[in-house]
Amino acid sequence: MKEKILITRPIFEDVVKYLEGYFEIELNRGPKYSADQLAEALRGKDAVLVAGGEKIDADLLTKVHDLKAVCVTAAGYNNIDVEALSRAGIVATNSPGPADETVADFAWGLMIAVARRLVEAEHWVKEGQWKASAGSRFFGTDVYGKTLGIIGMGRIGRAIARRAVGFRMRTLYHNRRQLEKELEQECKASFVSKEALLTESDFVILSLPFTKENRHIIAAEDLARMKPTAFLVNIARGGLIDEAALAAALQQNQIAGAGLDVFEQEPVIYPALMGLPNVVLCPHIAGATERAQHGLVMMGAENLVAALGHGPHAFDPPGILNPVVLKK
């Protein structure tokens, strides 16, 4: 008898067929589950492929007793409580890797968009206001030759840094630990304190996971350290920034601008950010290409297959977050 799994949102059909080779599948083709609906759908399931950011926490696990694996189709996994899953003996996995270069591309696009005021200029043109030369109206900031600061130097951070070489930028980074010398040389990046990075950088990009320790890693005092000509870009997770402090800094021209793809309460955006001309807001689309998304979903599926003891990586899923559970 096949094990039963839940897929929380519609995914690529070839991935569904791949999973059907191993399991009996329930696929949610309707609206996103509420917490109660998710608990009900998970009853009797051996595993779940979390494809829509659904929250799986300690409270939900009190209502679900058959789960053996929770597999996220994204690199970020702050929507699942790994500690609670580990206590319950449930394998947790994420999908790092497939979207790294895609997200790095987007980070650069967002940085250039806010520095060169592309969104403001586009709106001006579409509103029919271009009657003569724009003159100095949309003077922006050069990116070439400036100092780039990256907070979080994992795979995506390093991909961003490699692109900076072509822009002849000086690259600084801050990380939990310093990279090996070979990686630093590859990225042409220098390890510095967070304070030094904020003080010296013309562009600051956040590329680190969201954790309890990292919540509001950019707060009012951090924004105060930045140059008034500097820009802040976030393509990681919204809770990394104190959005009220950022809105105040942008309103007061304490920093020059911000590019944001993620928000603390998304899809709700902190209201004071909405009308500001010096911020570019995007709907969490840094990894939104078909190639990247297919890779993320397929990796999540392969993790699930392995977590339940099937396939070439049986009991050794590549995206394991709590290997202690497998050891038990």
- Catalytic residue positions, numbered: 237, 266, 284
Q: Is 191 exposed, middle or buried, given 0-12, 13-18 or 19+ CB atoms closer than 10 A?
A: middle
What token pair was written down for 268? 């709700």
Dihedral, CA atoms, 54, 58, 63, 65, nearest 10 degrees? 100
Distance CA 170, CA 185 (A): 12
Q: What is the CA radius of gyration of the chain?
A: 22
Residues 261 and 280: beta-carbon distance below 8 Å: no
Establish whether the linkage from the previous residue to 267 is cis, with ω within 30° of 0: yes
CB atoms within 10 A of CB 87: 13
Which amino acid, residue 308? L
Between CA 69 and CA 91 the distance in angstroms is 4
Of 212, 261, 193, give the one whose Cα is nearest residue 232: 261
Instruction: Taking each helix axis as running N to C, give the angle between helix 290-307 and helix 13-20, from 0 to 180 degrees, rounded to the nearest 10.
Output: 10
Dihedral in degrees, nearest 10, Cα atoms 147, 150, 151, 154: -160
Give the rounded distance of the alpha carbon of 160 from its chain centre: 14
Place of tokens 């189709």: 73
